[in-house]
Amino acid sequence: METVSEARSHGGVQGVYRHASEATGTEMRFSVFVPPHEDGAKLPVLWYLSGLTCTHENVTDKGEYRAACAKHGIIFVAPDTSPRGDDVPDAEDEYDFGTGAGFYLDATEEPWAEHYNMRDYVTSELCELVGEEFPVDLDRQGITGHSMGGHGALTIGLRNPGRYRSISAFAPICAPSRVPWGQKAFSRYLGEDRAAWEEYDAVALIESGARPAQLLIDQGTADQFLEEQLSTALLRDVCEDAGINAAIRMQEGYDHSYHFISTFMADHIGWHAKRLKG
């Protein structure tokens, strides 16, 4: 791991780092905020997965999470959304597929399978690296994310109930198998067998028996993608049918942007803190 930059913030350190990834076969960058803490202490960690077109930089610059993380003593980690580099296949002029749109899955179709292994990268390789390099208690992990990253947070959290104590999301793609963004990505990354799509679909996972203890979802009512792409109502209905304690909050007048995310970020961090420290 190499340090790209570090800066003092809220008594802690905001850093950006890079390393050679075996999972993606590329150099990957990620950001980490480590709050002030006593020497030798191990802190809970909150993973944040970003949305389409984003890198680690978007939430690092706009997420307004550091004050809340310093208050609650939580390390905040933000990986990139996909592999990048000259040798990585891409879909030119398609913002919702290819570079910047890894969908937090492990691709099985060529030419994507060699590099687009973002689920393995986030859950295994990066987790191990962060655990080695930072004062993290890996027995106390939470996960959150926005839009495509909200989809990633939900599906990774639902598939790993013993690892993540808390799961939240901002405007997640709740049922990607049923909406254009997900159908486009899944058909090309995973092939046409829709059974393979279900492990990357939060609604399908809950229908198949996934039972998180709790969920927290914030969704803006003025979000331009709400009806066609996000399927929040489907998630609410399936959680109600399954008896899952899901706080799905419709926030009046908010859109899909970081203005929305930053407004409720501290609330999410406080919610995670209660579950990560309990």
Domain CATH for 241 = 3.40.50.1820
Helix, strand, coil percentages for the chain (3-state, nearest 5): 35, 25, 35
Confidence (pLDDT) at 81: 98
Phi then psi for residue 58, to 5 deg, are: -60, -55
Tokens 């075996």, residue located: 22
Confidence (pLDDT) at 233: 97
- Residue 168 annotated in active site: no
Confidence (pLDDT) at 278: 72
- Which of the residues 21, 31, 50, 147 is marked catalytic? 147
Percent of the chain clearing pLDDT 70 (strictly above): 100
- Which of the residues 80, 106, 218, 223 is marked catalytic? 223
- Residue 223 annotated in active site: yes
Burial of 187 (0-12, 13-18, 19+ CB in 10 A): middle
Structural domain that includes position 177: 2-277
| pLDDT one-digit tens code per residue, 125-149 | 999 999 999 999 999 999 999 999 9
User: Angle at Cα 255 formed by Cα 251 and Cα 261, nearest 5°?
Assistant: 75
> Which conformational region is residue 209 in: left (phi greater than 0), alpha (psi within -120 to 50 degrees), or beta?
left
Confidence (pLDDT) at 127: 98
Beta strands at 12-20 and 214-220: parallel, antiparallel or unpaired: unpaired
| pLDDT one-digit tens code per residue, 219-277 | 999 999 999 999 999 999 999 999 999 999 999 999 999 999 999 999 999 999 999 98
Tokens 């020497």, residue located: 39
Q: What is the enclosing helix (H) or strand (E) of 48?
A: strand 43-49
Tokens 């970003």, residue located: 50
Residue 111: pLDDT over 80: yes
Total domains in the fold of the chain: 1
Whether this prediction's pTM lies above 0.85 is answered by yes
Residue 92: pLDDT over 90: no
| pLDDT one-digit tens code per residue, 147-204 | 999 999 999 999 999 899 999 999 999 999 999 999 999 999 999 999 999 999 999 9
- Which of the residues 72, 115, 146, 256 is marked catalytic? 256
Residue type (1 letter), 158: L
